């Protein structure tokens, strides 16, 4: 199916799903409209063939399909890729390590955080020279609950980081996460302290880590969809883009209160070789394509036998924070 046709189908199916959710009533059931919508996402699945796509549907549980299965089957006419993903969560959470100079993929957190995330990469405000680190709002800004200037440490508190001696940066800016409107990205930046040394080069290229994989036999068929990332918990992993323009709702805990945040434009990635692409603690990892070009900021994922990871497109992150990647 052509990309334009799938986008039109996605809009149509979304309208039908919202209509079904509004009308769906089950007496004496624990079913809730809010819970159901949290469990379903729509996106676009690249089939692997040139200019050929299907509608992507991600649901938390198989039972979530019941109210919509027949309608989707009729509208999509078989042009659909359905994934039972399990629940989706922000991926902050333990592989503790201290490292100087700083490089991407390291464990970081706020000084009083009970979880950890990943140092994604080094960036700069457009037109400015100060070096910043890029990660997620829920890693650096505690889901909107931090103050500009709050210390960031490496390694994270849960990885035995010490706030008195291991402060590497201070929170500089973050994108607010809102329940009442669509959100473009879960992202934040922190200004690196002047005395901290960094390695600008990405660990992907240390000792040519990627080369053996890129040269694997049969790789040509999927090379346009293959990505890699280096994160705190799972380090170097490879995946394949399963869907893009995916809309999903992600539950967070803000100050002890649950909030549900909608992201309308996510990239979904599944791990290769039956391995998870990411786990808790990998939030903030930068995802790159075969050319080593950043394409996404990892921030959430699912559990289960066939987990899916979710990323915000890097161009949206850079646009919202007015940043650019720091070059060597």
Q: How confident is the model at residue 29 (pLDDT cuts 50, 70, 90)?
A: very low
Say if 276 falls within a structural domain.
yes
Query: pTM of the full predicted structure?
Result: 0.79
- Cα separation, 159 vs 126, in Å, equals 33
Domain shared by 314 and 211, yes or no: yes
Sheet holding 188-192, edge to edge: 117-118, 107-110, 151-153, 167-174, 188-192, 132-135, 121-125, 323-325
Domain shared by 27 and 57, yes or no: yes
Query: For 91-113, what is the mean pLDDT?
Result: 79
Query: For 248-253, what is the mean pLDDT?
Result: 92
12 vs 209, which has greater pLDDT? Answer: 12
Average pLDDT along the chain: 84
Domain shared by 300 and 280, yes or no: yes
Domain shared by 207 and 310, yes or no: yes
Task: Report the SS3 class of residue 158.
Answer: helix
Residue 307 sits in a domain of what CATH number? 2.40.10.10
Query: For 157-186, what is the mean pLDDT?
Result: 92
Reply yes or no on whether the pLDDT at 25 is more than 70. no
Q: How confident is the model at residue 31 (pLDDT cuts 50, 70, 90)?
A: very low
Domain final residue, candidates 84, 110, 145: 84
Say if 281 falls within a structural domain.
yes
What are the Cα distances from residue 303, in Å, to 48, 60, 61, 91, 276? 25, 10, 11, 10, 9
Whether the CB-CB separation of 117 and 109 falls below 8 Å is answered with yes
Say if 198 falls within a structural domain.
no
Domain final residue, candidates 192, 220, 237: 192
Q: How confident is the model at residue 94 (pLDDT cuts 50, 70, 90)?
A: very low
Q: Which long-range contacts (CB under 8 A, 24 or more apart) does 57-61 make?
A: 57/81, 57/82, 57/83, 58/82, 58/83, 58/85, 58/243, 58/246, 58/248, 58/268, 58/308, 59/83, 59/84, 59/85, 60/84, 60/85, 60/86, 60/87, 60/88, 60/302, 61/86
pLDDT value for 162: 86
pLDDT value for 49: 85
Domain shared by 211 and 173, yes or no: no
The number of distinct structural domains making up the chain is 3
Domain final residue, candidates 36, 59, 84: 84
Query: For 196-204, what is the mean pLDDT?
Result: 72
Say if 90 falls within a structural domain.
no
Residue 134 sits in a domain of what CATH number? 2.40.10
Domain containing residue 164: 95-192
Reply yes or no on whether the pLDDT at 95 is more than 70. no
Domain shared by 296 and 235, yes or no: yes
- Strands (E) across the chain are located at 40-46, 53-59, 80-84, 88-90, 107-110, 117-118, 121-125, 132-135, 151-153, 167-174, 188-192, 226-231, 235-254, 257-271, 286-288, 294-302, 308-313, 323-325
Domain shared by 211 and 287, yes or no: yes
Domain shared by 208 and 311, yes or no: yes
pLDDT value for 39: 64
181 vs 21, which has greater pLDDT? Answer: 181
Q: Which of 165-179, 193-207, 248-262 has the lowest mean pLDDT?
A: 193-207
Residues contacting residue 135 through CB under 8 Å, at least 6 positions apart: 108, 117, 118, 119, 120, 187, 188, 189, 190, 283, 284
Say if 181 falls within a structural domain.
yes
Domain shared by 174 and 216, yes or no: no
Query: For 104-112, what is the mean pLDDT?
Result: 92
Say if 325 falls within a structural domain.
no
Q: Where do we find the tokens 């299965």? A: 69
Say if 327 falls within a structural domain.
no
pLDDT value for 136: 97
pLDDT value for 158: 87
pLDDT value for 218: 65
Q: What pLDDT, in 10s, does the model give residues 295-312?
A: 999 999 998 778 999 999
Reply yes or no on whether the pLDDT at 83 is more than 90. no
Say if 11 falls within a structural domain.
yes
The CA angle 124-175-259, to the nearest 5 degrees, is 150
pLDDT value for 96: 47
């Amino acid at each position: 199916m052509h990309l334009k046709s799938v986008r039109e189908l996605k809009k149509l199916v979304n309208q039908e799903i919202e209509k079904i959710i509004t009308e769906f009533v089950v007496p004496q059931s624990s079913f809730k409209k809010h819970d159901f919508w949290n469990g379903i996402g729509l996106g676009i699945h690249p089939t692997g063939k040139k200019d050929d796509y299907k509608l992507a549907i991600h649901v938390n549980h198989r039972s979530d399909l019941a109210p919509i299965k027949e309608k989707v089957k009729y509208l999509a006419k078989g042009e659909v890729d359905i994934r039972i993903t399990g629940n989706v969560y922000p991926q902050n959470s333990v592989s503790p390590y201290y490292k100087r100079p700083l490089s991407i993929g390291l464990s970081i957190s706020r000084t009083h955080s009970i979880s950890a995330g990943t140092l994604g990469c080094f960036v700069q405000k457009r037109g400015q020279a100060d070096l910043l680190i890029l990660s997620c709002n829920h890693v650096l800004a505690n889901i909107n609950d931090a103050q500009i200037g709050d210390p960031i440490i490496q390694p994270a508190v849960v990885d035995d980081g010490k706030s008195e001696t291991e402060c590497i940066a201070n929170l500089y800016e973050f994108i607010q996460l809102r329940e009442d409107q669509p959100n473009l990205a879960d992202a934040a930046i922190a200004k690196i302290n002047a005395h901290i040394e960094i390695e600008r080069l990405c660990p992907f290229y240390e000792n040519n880590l990627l080369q053996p994989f890129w040269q694997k036999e049969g790789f040509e068929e999927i090379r346009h969809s293959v990505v890699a990332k280096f994160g705190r918990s799972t380090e170097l992993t490879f995946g394949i883009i399963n869907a893009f323009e995916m809309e999903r709702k992600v539950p967070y805990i803000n100050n002890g209160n649950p909030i549900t945040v909608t992201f309308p434009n996510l990239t979904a990635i599944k791990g290769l070789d039956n391995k998870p692409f990411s786990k808790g603690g990998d939030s903030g990892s930068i995802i790159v394509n075969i050319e080593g070009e950043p394409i996404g900021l990892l921030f959430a994922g699912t559990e289960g036998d066939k987990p899916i990871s979710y990323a915000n497109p890097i161009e949206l992150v850079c646009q919202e924070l007015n940043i650019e990647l720091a070059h060597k």
